[in-house]
Chain A
Amino acid sequence: MTVLTLTGLILVIALLGYAMGVARSRSALQAGSVLHSRPQYSGAFVAFLFALPAVCLMLAWVAIDEGIIRSLTIASLPSDVTEGIDRRQAGALIREVFQVISGRTFGEPEPYMRDAAAYYVEAQGWSRTLMYVSCLALGALCAGWGFSRIAPEFRARNKVEAIVSGLLVLASCIAILTTVGIIGALVFESWAFFTLVPVNEFLFGLNWEPQIPIREDQIAGAGAFGAVPVFWGTIFIALISMMVALPIGLFSAIYLAEFASPRVRTIVKPVLEILAGIPTIVYGFFAVLTVAPALRRYGEMVGLDVAANSALAAGGVMGIMIIPFISSLSDDAITAVPRSLRDASLAMGATRAETVSRVLLPAALPGIVGGVLLAVSRAIGETMIVVMAAGLIARLTLNPFEGVTTVTVQIVTLLIGDSSFDNPKTLAAFGLGLVLFISTLGLNVFALNIVKKYRERYD
């Protein structure tokens, strides 16, 4: 909350600086001099000079102050408590301090813990005050310098434009920063995981039982992190979904591109797009509420034992979600085939079906394959449908009526309700996340390349 107040304060003062800059520039105008830039630019110059340094300092402060306060708090504890502790134990101590601060303690806390809590609260207060003072002071200093430079011949517009251009570049770097952040976070936490569980065991092991004991007295499995059954489940469900989506999507695309009248096209295309716009949690609930029980009933009718969380239900519903991806990307690919090819085929006496199957589809194939690969990557990364409809137990099975689990399901179940980053159970989620990120990224890059290459061929 302090950050928001400070941001508001900075904005208000920056506006004030704008007004002062404009006024100073105007007074020079009234005195009869010829200005290089209009007064607004002088005002904007002062405002930017105040706000930018202040905001940067504030963000930097917020990013590092918590860590410093925590390590200072640890250092303030008596040396016999902190003697030779590692990162994990330090984290536990800090959690204890937080409990003392919020008053949720069981029994009387140690007196040194009480002191540490008081120390933490005090340090945080000091840090906040210092942050306010230093941010505003830095801003005022810079703005004062800027204000003093305002003169009739001062090239304020050029300066302001340079600042704005810099901000534009900075904004476009946020995307890079996000990618760096994703890769950094995944690799860093996965690294910690692979020091606990060997990479080989993770990538090629056949046994996945991540329910390890959190406390020593807890009864749980020994914990096994062989992710092959999880990978298989992901691929299996993606395959089932493609078996639903591919024929429906492809046939609709062919119909829309080659047979449908423009009117039908303008109505049906958006209707199919609705399927892609519905949030996946809705599909998940649909799978649990309607599809899974229906499959179970049909299964019973023909004497099959269908699990409540069968791969078929999850994959089937995911297939419905993916139909529009396949249909619109294939539609684009088919309509992108030049008119001349189509006309030539029809002029030779081929029927429409023959034109589609012998000329258009082969010509559009790379685009269609690209679209299918994009859809597969979508299916692999899809989370909510499988979290709600697929199973939790990792099985290596070819039976679509049994439950399997997927990478995304495991990530969610491993991380829900657990916040410490120090046991293999939570870290395993990041290992799975890394595999997921790399595989979807690979599929996307590959698919986009195919689509791009194909487009160039006819342009």
Chain B
Amino acid sequence: MTDTTRPPASGWADEANRSNIGLKRRHARSRRLQGFGIGAIALAILMLGTLLWTMVSTGYSAFVQTHLSVEVTLSPEEIDAQSPGDANYRDIMQRAWLSSFDNVTEENEGDLLSMLSRGAELQLRNLVIDDPSLIGQTIQMEVPAADDLDQVEKGFVSRATPEEYRIVNDRQIEIFYELKQDGRVSTPFNTALFTEADSRFPELAGLKGALIGSFFALLVCFVLSFPIGIAAAIYLEEFAPKNRWTDLIEVNINNLAAVPSIVFGLLGLAVFIGFLGFPRSIPLVGGMVLALMTLPTIIISTRAALKAVPPSVREAALGVGASKLQTVLHHVLPLALPGIMTGTIIGMAQALGETAPLLLIGMNAFITAAPDSMMSPSTALPTQIYIWADSPERGFTARTSAAIMVLLGFMIIMNGIAIYLRKRLETRW
């Protein structure tokens, strides 16, 4: 038995055996390369997952806001029904807050007062101005708690940390838990995040101004880049003679698509603001800069969509006597439209996330009112994220992540629409 299976001492079989050992090594190397590939992909996906998880895990808490309930007496002596805006609401609110405790002393007064947000008095003021008939009544209000307390409620402040490293002291935490037992603490959905503009206080800061600013900027961007981009693409794809001039335009568009975005910001700053005299920080200028950046994207994708329409369509239209322009506008363009829309939406989604050019034209200013027109200073969604990321208060970290979640949400929706359009409407020839 052993004799028959043992390889002969010399000759081809020995050779084969040697190469067999080598083959094993060679296959092992092949598997190793495959392993590296899988490892690389896994690493990339892991990083993507970590990034998204970081945003969600730090940002989710900003979608709720701790509120405290206060009983406020609106006496007619303090608030004049004729001019309800003039009363000292800060004082009224503070006294109402303090009156709900029975052991207020000189030393814990400060602790108590700093538990309330500055937004409380504003909320009271707006309430009374909207409905002056409240004057003379005693009302129950849910007012936002200060950010420090909000962090306690959300579990980001540990009592194990020594008191001097904390923004809230032990007494405040004590009082807060008492309030909680009395049912005077609630954590409703943080509507302020969407209905308020920026603020110095995290608990009052919202994205309204940034959302409107981004909307205006994208509107300008779309109105400029969509028609111009399609027109340029039609010319280059359907009409342009093949010569040096059109070659130059083509090379130029490809290179513009790769120019760093900050260079477009420099262009906007020097030409639109410096030379043409537009004011800084306005969505109109932001939109114009974004339009210049989006133009190459739209031109390139429109050309691809036009190219995908088969020549038979053009020949048929020309054959029944349509002019060249009629052929393109009546027949080729409608067929290419789904592809063009897909490219445009993807370009718009890119423009929505673009930050650097907007920073240079000053859309990172601190503005506490939502813009009412394209000409009023405002921030945009990405620049608002930049401002909040730079703010030291703990509450802004969560809000930055929440704003990023909103931004990514918009981008997912836009790209989802683009994919849907491509899947459902695009004709395969």
The answer to whether B256 touches A255, judged by C-beta atoms less than 8 angstroms apart, is: no
Please, which residue of chain B has its CB at the minimum distance from the CB of A178?
A: B292
Residue A193 CB within 8 A of the other chain? no
Given contacts A272-B41, A272-B44, A351-B26, are A168 and B235 in contact (CB under 8 A)? yes
The answer to whether B33 touches A172, judged by C-beta atoms less than 8 angstroms apart, is: no
Given contacts A279-B411, A285-B404, are A252 and B323 in contact (CB under 8 A)? no
Given contacts A274-B48, A445-B255, are A248 and B249 in contact (CB under 8 A)? no
Residue B271 CB within 8 A of the other chain? yes
Q: List residues of B (16-35) whose CB comes within 8 Å of A's CBs.
A: 26-27, 29-30, 32-34
Q: List residues of B (346-398) whose CB comes within 8 Å of A's CBs.
A: 349-350, 352-356, 359-360, 362, 364, 373-375, 382, 385-386, 389, 397
Residue A182 CB within 8 A of the other chain? yes
Residue B76 CB within 8 A of the other chain? no
A7-36 interface mask toward B, CB cutoff 8 Å, 1 = contact, 0 = none? 000000000000000000000000000000
The answer to whether A384 touches B355, judged by C-beta atoms less than 8 angstroms apart, is: yes
The answer to whether B389 touches A179, judged by C-beta atoms less than 8 angstroms apart, is: no
The answer to whether B356 touches A247, judged by C-beta atoms less than 8 angstroms apart, is: no
A377 to B34, CA, bound (A): 30
- Kindly provide the distance from the CB of A169 to the nearest chain B CB, expressed in whole angstroms: 6
Residue B240 CB within 8 A of the other chain? yes
Q: Determine the chain B residues whose CB is within 8 A of the CB of A289 once the complex forms.
A: 54, 58, 397, 401
Contact of A436 among B231, B263, B275, B276 (CB under 8 A): B263
The answer to whether B252 touches A168, judged by C-beta atoms less than 8 angstroms apart, is: no
The answer to whether A412 touches B280, judged by C-beta atoms less than 8 angstroms apart, is: no
Residue A132 CB within 8 A of the other chain? no
Given contacts A272-B44, A279-B407, A351-B27, are A419 and B34 in contact (CB under 8 A)? no
Residue B87 CB within 8 A of the other chain? no
The answer to whether B274 touches A421, judged by C-beta atoms less than 8 angstroms apart, is: yes
The answer to whether A282 touches B266, judged by C-beta atoms less than 8 angstroms apart, is: no
A320 to B46, CA, bound (A): 11
The answer to whether A278 touches B27, judged by C-beta atoms less than 8 angstroms apart, is: no
Please, which residue of chain A has its CB at the minimum distance from the CB of B405?
A: A282
Given contacts A178-B256, A279-B354, A290-B50, are A252 and B266 in contact (CB under 8 A)? no
- Kindly provide the distance from the CB of B420 to the nearest chain A CB, expressed in whole angstroms: 14
A233-273 interface mask toward B, CB cutoff 8 Å, 1 = contact, 0 = none? 00000000000000111111011100110000000100110
A165 to B323, CA, bound (A): 12
Given contacts A179-B252, A272-B41, are A419 and B276 in contact (CB under 8 A)? no
Contact of B37 among A189, A259, A408, A430 (CB under 8 A): A259
Q: Determine the chain B residues whose CB is within 8 A of the CB of A437 once the complex forms.
A: 259-260, 263
Q: List residues of A (207-253) whose CB comes within 8 Å of B's CBs.
A: 247-252
A320 to B33, CA, bound (A): 21
Q: Determine the chain B residues whose CB is within 8 A of the CB of A111 once the complex forms.
A: none
The answer to whether A169 touches B235, judged by C-beta atoms less than 8 angstroms apart, is: yes
Residue B205 CB within 8 A of the other chain? no
Most buried by A among B47, B248, B295: B47
The answer to whether B37 touches A176, judged by C-beta atoms less than 8 angstroms apart, is: no
Q: Determine the chain A residues whose CB is within 8 A of the CB of B274 once the complex forms.
A: 421
Given contacts A175-B249, A429-B266, A436-B263, are A384 and B51 in contact (CB under 8 A)? no
Residue A381 CB within 8 A of the other chain? yes
Q: Determine the chain B residues whose CB is within 8 A of the CB of A56 once the complex forms.
A: none
Contact of B41 among A62, A268, A378, A430 (CB under 8 A): A268
- Kindly provide the distance from the CB of B254 to the nearest chain A CB, expressed in whole angstroms: 7
The answer to whether B258 touches A377, judged by C-beta atoms less than 8 angstroms apart, is: yes
Q: List residues of A (49-99) whose CB comes within 8 Å of B's CBs.
A: 62-63, 66-67
A53 to B1, CA, bound (A): 103
- Kindly provide the distance from the CB of A40 to the nearest chain B CB, expressed in whole angstroms: 12
Most buried by B among A167, A172, A353, A441: A172
- Kindly provide the distance from the CB of A446 to the nearest chain B CB, expressed in whole angstroms: 11
Please, which residue of chain A has its CB at the minimum distance from the CB of B32?
A: A353
The answer to whether B232 touches A171, judged by C-beta atoms less than 8 angstroms apart, is: yes
The answer to whether A374 touches B51, judged by C-beta atoms less than 8 angstroms apart, is: no
Given contacts A278-B408, A279-B354, A415-B360, are A175 and B256 in contact (CB under 8 A)? yes
Residue B239 CB within 8 A of the other chain? yes
Contact of A383 among B261, B295, B350 (CB under 8 A): B261
A281 to B259, CA, bound (A): 18
A384 to B38, CA, bound (A): 30
The interface size of chain A toward B, counting residues with CB under 8 Å, comes to 94
The answer to whether A248 touches B43, judged by C-beta atoms less than 8 angstroms apart, is: yes
Please, which residue of chain A has its CB at the minimum distance from the CB of B42?
A: A252
A320 to B51, CA, bound (A): 10
Q: List residues of B (265-310) whose CB comes within 8 Å of A's CBs.
A: 266-267, 269-271, 273-277, 280, 292, 295-296, 299
- Kindly provide the distance from the CB of A407 to the nearest chain B CB, expressed in whole angstroms: 9
The answer to whether B407 touches A282, judged by C-beta atoms less than 8 angstroms apart, is: yes
Q: List residues of A (392-422) whose CB comes within 8 Å of B's CBs.
A: 408, 411-412, 415-417, 419, 421
Residue B325 CB within 8 A of the other chain? yes
Given contacts A286-B54, A411-B266, A430-B266, are A252 and B359 in contact (CB under 8 A)? no
Given contacts A247-B40, A415-B360, are A185 and B270 in contact (CB under 8 A)? yes
Main secondary structure of the interface of B (DSSP, over half): helix
A74 to B235, CA, bound (A): 46
Residue A154 CB within 8 A of the other chain? no
Residue B421 CB within 8 A of the other chain? no
Q: Determine the chain A residues whose CB is within 8 A of the CB of B32 once the complex forms.
A: 353
The answer to whether B400 touches A168, judged by C-beta atoms less than 8 angstroms apart, is: no
Please, which residue of chain B has its CB at the minimum distance from the CB of A268?
A: B41
The answer to whether B356 touches A284, judged by C-beta atoms less than 8 angstroms apart, is: no
A440 to B255, CA, bound (A): 10
Q: Determine the chain A residues whose CB is within 8 A of the CB of B364 once the complex forms.
A: 416
Contact of A351 among B30, B38, B48, B259 (CB under 8 A): B30
Residue A288 CB within 8 A of the other chain? yes
Q: Determine the chain A residues whose CB is within 8 A of the CB of B54 once the complex forms.
A: 286, 289-290
The answer to whether B273 touches A419, judged by C-beta atoms less than 8 angstroms apart, is: yes
The answer to whether B260 touches A320, judged by C-beta atoms less than 8 angstroms apart, is: no
Given contacts A178-B292, A290-B54, A383-B355, are A1 and B375 in contact (CB under 8 A)? yes
The answer to whether A248 touches B51, judged by C-beta atoms less than 8 angstroms apart, is: no
- Kindly provide the distance from the CB of A292 to the nearest chain B CB, expressed in whole angstroms: 12
Q: List residues of A (431-454) whose CB comes within 8 Å of B's CBs.
A: 433, 436-437, 440-441, 444-445, 448
- Kindly provide the distance from the CB of B218 to the nearest chain A CB, expressed in whole angstroms: 14
Contact of A356 among B33, B44, B385 (CB under 8 A): B33
- Kindly provide the distance from the CB of B206 to the nearest chain A CB, expressed in whole angstroms: 18
Residue A149 CB within 8 A of the other chain? no
Please, which residue of chain A has its CB at the minimum distance from the CB of B350?
A: A277
The answer to whether A157 touches B249, judged by C-beta atoms less than 8 angstroms apart, is: no
A171 to B397, CA, bound (A): 44
Q: Determine the chain A residues whose CB is within 8 A of the CB of B252 once the complex forms.
A: 175-176, 179
Q: Determine the chain A residues whose CB is within 8 A of the CB of B227 once the complex forms.
A: 171
A247 to B362, CA, bound (A): 38
The answer to whether B266 touches A256, judged by C-beta atoms less than 8 angstroms apart, is: no
Q: Determine the chain A residues whose CB is within 8 A of the CB of B253 once the complex forms.
A: 175
Residue A382 CB within 8 A of the other chain? yes
Contact of B51 among A182, A252, A283, A429 (CB under 8 A): A283
The answer to whether B260 touches A351, judged by C-beta atoms less than 8 angstroms apart, is: no
Given contacts A178-B292, A279-B353, A279-B354, are A255 and B266 in contact (CB under 8 A)? no
Q: Determine the chain A residues whose CB is within 8 A of the CB of B386 once the complex forms.
A: 281, 284, 384, 387-388
Residue A280 CB within 8 A of the other chain? yes
Residue B45 CB within 8 A of the other chain? yes
A310 to B176, CA, bound (A): 40
Extra A-B contacts (11), CB below 8 Å, given A161-B324, A383-B262: A66-B277, A165-B235, A168-B231, A175-B232, A175-B299, A277-B349, A285-B400, A351-B26, A383-B355, A387-B386, A419-B273
8 example contacts (A-B, Cβ-Cβ < 8 A) are as follows A168-B234, A255-B34, A381-B260, A383-B261, A384-B355, A388-B386, A419-B280, A445-B255
Closest 9 CB pairs of A and B: A255-B37, A381-B260, A279-B353, A171-B231, A251-B40, A185-B270, A168-B235, A353-B30, A383-B356
